[in-house]
Structures are given as C-alpha cells and as structure tokens.
Amino acid sequence: MDLSWNHNVHYHEHLLRHVPDSCVRALDVGCGAGRFARRLAARAAQVEAIDPDPAMIAEARRRTPRRMGVHYVRAALDDFGVAPGAYQFVSALASIHHMPFADSLRVLARGLAPGGVLAVLGCYREESPADYAVSAAALVPQWSLGAGLRAARALTGVPDPTPAAGSGMRVREPDMGLAEIRAEAARVLPGARVRRLLFWRYCLVYARPVTG
C-alpha cells in the first residue's frame, strides 16, 4: 500500500487521461524513481523512461517489476536522441524547467507519432497577484491531504515515505512565469493548451495533428 503524496503525484491521474487509446510506445522524461512510468505502463505496451541521475535510475529499476516492461535509461534529453515520430505519448513531470524550454518542447513534440500527445506537468515562477492568490488557496488543501495521509499511515502501519537512497535529485527553481510559458508554448507548438493547476503546477498538452 502506497500512502505517499506530493504535488506531482497528485496530478498523475490527470496526465494519464491524455494517453491515447491503444498506445503502443510511450516516453517519460525526467522519470525520477519511476512512479509515473510504472502507472504509464498500464496504459502503454512499451514505456521508455529517462533521467540523468544514476541514483534515481537505479532506484527506479529496483522498484519496477520486470513484467511491467519499463525500460529505464540514464540520459539527459539532449543525449537520449528522441526518435522522430516514435511515440504515441510523451510526458515530462516537473523536469522541463531544468532544460531549455522552447528547444525541449520541439524535441519532445518531434518524437510524437501523428495523433500522439505530449503532456507536460511543469513548475512556474510566481510573479502576478493571481499566482500568489492561487498559492495561498493551495495551502489548506495541501495541509489537509498531508494530515490525512499521515493519519492513514499511522492507522495501517505503513511507514512514512523516504527519498531514494543516495539520491542526488536536482532541485531548481523555475525561471519562467506562466505568461511567458504560455507565450512560448503558443509560438513553438501552435495549438498547445496550458492550464494552471492548484499545487504550484501547470499542465501543457499538445496533440500532433494526424495529417499535415
């Protein structure tokens, strides 16, 4: 039983709703310990998951049963060599702010097969009154969720979650505000939709046209 939670995990189901039916091949960029990749494996026949952190890749492999068919690769996006048109679904969770934004979007979108979907869960820099208002509104539900999960772990005997052993997971504050993210996404991927989410995140969804 997994009773851990964080801001990214909260939106896993939201992202999975964008996986096309009969998805054959999917790519998860910045996979960390593989939690989303494992969920994605239930929706796609093949999942490739990449991360530049060797400790995270080792932990992801340890936690993932072989029968799931997730192939983990230690690589940054620039080094991985995304095959054009290879994937029906591409995801990046809280990782794209570690990379050049526009160039990364182009690379990820190029990897989509016709009709394929790119789903990005991203972080943005707070800079407007609306940003600060949403952040303030998120504090109470965040506290309530955390308190509820702590109580559930205490009642069931499930230990508190611990980070991956030896993890060197990088932490970097985002340097783009939501307005700039929307403008750049519209310029690079016309038709991409960017939606602000509650817990200091946004979701970018882009579907490659079937023709053209």
What are the structural domains, with CATH classification, of the chain?
Answer: 11-125+171-207 (3.40.50.150)
The pTM (predicted TM-score) of the whole model is 0.86
* Model confidence at 137: pLDDT above 90: no
Question: What order do you get walking across the sheet with 23-29 strand by strand?
Answer: 70-74, 44-51, 23-29, 87-93, 112-122, 202-207, 193-196
pLDDT in tens, 1-10: 444 557 788 8
The per-residue pLDDT for 37 is 97
pLDDT in tens, 108-133: 999 999 999 999 999 999 999 888 88
The per-residue pLDDT for 157 is 60
- Percentage of residues of the chain with pLDDT beyond 90: 70
The per-residue pLDDT for 3 is 42
Whole-number average pLDDT of the chain: 87
pLDDT in tens, 92-114: 999 999 999 999 999 999 999 99
